[in-house]
Amino acid sequence: MGYKVVVVGATGNVGREMLNILDERAFPIEEIAVLASRRSLGTEVSFGDRTLKTQDLATFDFTGWDMALFAIGSEATREYAPKAASQGCVVIDNSSLYRMDPDVPLVVPEVNADAVLGYTKKNIIANPNCSTAQMVVALKPLHDRAKIKRVVVSTYQSVSGTGKEAIDELWNQTKGMYVPGQEVEPSVYPRQIAFNVIPHIDDFMEDGGTKEEWKMVVETKKILDPAIKLTATCVRVPVFVGHSEALNIEFEEFLDEDEARDILREAPGIMVVDKREDGGYVTPVECVGDFATFISRIRQDSTIENGLNLWCVSDNLRKGAALNAVQIAEALGQKALKKG
């Protein structure tokens, strides 16, 4: 016996990845429906060896369906997630809409899987921001051992985090640099992204930070520990898929780099590749299509009393979005619905 699962936004990058991962992980499915907006109605998407035709989100009845994985923007989610939830279908939402709602659990299964049990208040579970998700997977086992006081994180985020239009912009701008007359002006981003880095993700806030940086701060507190102090600088880089992060972590007590390496090797969802030689680390190119969060460059920070530095890389369409949503669905099934 399996679950009746809906994938909302099935024609987008994350929605298609959700379908791939549901199939790869052999999620117990009795029936599946794929939904899209009217303009994408009838578009076909792949699910394993099957081809599914999208149905209209606006008219779909969620009654009798167990869970819906939402991969659409906040505005559409605001309209349709409460509808699905009120019809008895548990929503796993990838947008930012419900993340900081006190009645909605924000879940990274390697970190706080039991939090899924809080879904009953609104029938909704939130998926965190992509940059937060991979970071807290790395922080959790270290925090359990030595208690983290403060984190300074700089991100190097790929264009797929913005969507297909951003991927196209990077591709076309890059080609245009070499073909006179085919130059492409920025439209998705405020500056050229090809051969450039942009220290700006999401909207600016009054304090000079961006909303992406704010998300990393407040989501880490909600998922991991409200006492952790965190400051972030989020940067868009000309990479198609894969977010990277440089983390500087200050602990309440000393944690040796060798012990940290051993702890991370044993932690769920993490792969340590840390050789002190040319190429002895992971870059975004190697992480694409993988489930793991990769950790490299683990080393002591001698400028503070109890500090470590590390490098963290993950496929943002997977752990940062689709994989985490499917893992939430798995945890929900195991801990609450218990049908599969």
Residue ranges of the binding site for substrate? 157, 236
Q: Given 89, 234, 243, 287, which residue is catalytic?
A: 243
Cα 150 to Cα 40: distance, rounded to the nearest angstrom: 45
Q: Name which of 127, 124, 128, 115 is nearest 90 in CA terms.
A: 124
Contact between 248 and 309 under an 8 Å Cβ cutoff? The reply is yes
Among all chains, which residue has been given the structure tokens 């932690």? 267
* Cα–Cα dist 262/191, whole Å: 42
- CA distance to 168, 174, 180, 270, per residue, from 184 (Å): 11, 9, 11, 39
Give the residue ranges of the annotated binding site. Answer: 11-14, 39-40, 99, 157, 160-161, 236, 316
Nearest to 155 by CA among 127, 187, 133: 133
Cβ burial, residue 82 (10 Å; 0-12/13-18/19+): middle
- Residue 243 catalytic? yes
Please say if 130 is a catalytic residue. Answer: yes
d(CA 97, CA 173): 32
Question: What's the CA gap between 294 and 320, in Å, rounded?
Answer: 13
Contact 34, 70 (CB under 8 A): no
285 in Cβ contact with 230 (< 8 Å): no
Q: How far apart are CA 319 and CA 133, in angstroms?
A: 7
Decide the pairing of beta strands 55-56 and 67-70. unpaired
Do 67 and 3 contact (CB within 8 A), yes or no? Answer: yes
What's the maximum distance between 2 C-alpha atoms anywhere in the chain? Answer: 60
Is the distance from CB of 220 to CB of 152 less than 8 angstroms?
no
C-alpha to C-alpha distance for 322 and 285, rounded to whole angstroms? 18
Q: Which listed residue (130, 234, 287, 312) is catalytic?
A: 130
* Gyration radius of the chain over CA positions: 20
Catalytic residues: 130, 243
